[in-house]
A = this chain, B = another copy of it.
Amino acid sequence: MNTEKTIIIGSGPAGLTAGMYSARAQLQPLIFEGSTPGGQLMGTTYVDNWPSIPHILGPELMMQMKQQTHTLGARFAARTITRVDFSQDTFVLWDNKNTEYHAHSVIITTGATPKRLGCAGEDTYWGKGVTTCAVCDGAFYKNKPVVIVGGGDTAMENASFMTNFTNDITIIHILDTLTASKAMQERVLNNPSIKIRYMNTVGSIEGNGTHVTGITLTNKVTGETSSVATDAIFIAIGSTPNTAPFKGHIELDNYGYIVLKQFTQTSVKGVFAAGDVTDYRYRQAIASAGTGCMAALDAERFLKENNR
């Protein structure tokens, strides 16, 4: 069986940038696009924070990057890696059709999947007011009412970040107390721009066909419903790193994110990781692209050092 020099798992900004760098180094990387080709930006509308392009649709940005990666010599497989064996020097991987692949180096860029509410209107208005990233989309909602869903650190951070833009912020939390750290809670509780609706869940998201206009809440104790007019819903109820196939094969942290040992190297030499699958803190496309570049250079160096 042919052994690939580099297999890249995932095709968001980290995977594609790793692909570009590997391809330019003549390694002819094989990129597994996975179940969501292009990654999280495929579910957004406009991106205003990609350096060099002032304003572009998320899917368009990713299509450009894929085309560029392809032109540079990377190969794409429209499949998902579901199983791996990293125990030997030659790594073995299987895709969702049980086809087997061998590789001298692997770069994991499978990202993380933000948890969804699962309520009516969420899919319809995803990317049209429903978002998971205040840093990315906050600037679109200057002086507008916004809602944050969640009670943990990320929700508090989103609420705190949104005070840069508006003084009409409502946090919706399912419990009667916040689960965020004390310090984070205080920043929010002491801020007059932020209201908190405890013991409420989002029953549905309403809109005018093109954008969110409000939500309907259900009080968990009384069962009463109420409406909140809002232009944006920032869902901050956690993310799931896409690391199921790697469990037991490389070290993961308590939340399932990949642990990096030295630069971009995982606990297995020759296996590297980049992007949101290792990053619960920044979660920005440009940051993922940067670490994707680093992982590709580390993989190239690894191959040379080991004469592969």
Give A residues with C-beta under 8 Å from B.
13, 16-17, 20-21, 24-27, 48-54, 61, 64-65, 67-68, 71-72, 135, 138-139, 157, 160-161, 164-165, 183, 187, 263, 281-282, 284, 286-291, 293-294, 297, 300-301, 304-305
Question: Does the CB pair B64–A135 fall under 8 Å?
Answer: no
Residues of B contacting A135 with CB < 8 Å? 21, 24-25, 297
Question: Does the CB pair B290–A286 fall under 8 Å?
Answer: yes
- Main SS at interface, chain A: helix
Question: Does the CB pair A281–B263 fall under 8 Å?
Answer: yes
**13 additional contacts (CB under 8 A) given A187-B305, A290-B290:** A20-B49, A24-B138, A25-B139, A27-B164, A48-B72, A51-B65, A52-B52, A52-B61, A135-B297, A160-B304, A284-B297, A286-B290, A287-B294
Report the copy number of this chain in the oligomer.
2
Residues of B contacting A301 with CB < 8 Å? 157
Question: Does the CB pair A52–B49 fall under 8 Å?
Answer: no
* Docked complex Cα distance between A305 and B48 (Å): 26
* Docked complex Cα distance between A72 and B138 (Å): 13
Of the candidates B48, B53, B263, B290, the one whose C-beta lies within 8 Å of that of A289 is B290
Question: Can you name 27 A-B pairs with beta carbons within 8 Å?
Answer: A17-B286, A20-B51, A21-B135, A21-B284, A24-B48, A24-B138, A25-B164, A26-B139, A26-B164, A26-B165, A48-B72, A49-B293, A50-B52, A51-B68, A52-B53, A52-B61, A52-B68, A135-B297, A157-B301, A161-B304, A183-B305, A187-B304, A282-B293, A284-B290, A284-B294, A287-B290, A287-B293
* Docked complex Cα distance between A287 and B54 (Å): 19
Q: What's the least CB distance linking A184 to chain B, in Å?
A: 9
Q: What's the least CB distance linking A260 to chain B, in Å?
A: 13
Q: What's the least CB distance linking A139 to chain B, in Å?
A: 5
Q: What's the least CB distance linking A32 to chain B, in Å?
A: 19
Q: What's the least CB distance linking A156 to chain B, in Å?
A: 10
Question: Does the CB pair A17–B51 fall under 8 Å?
Answer: yes
Q: What's the least CB distance linking A143 to chain B, in Å?
A: 11
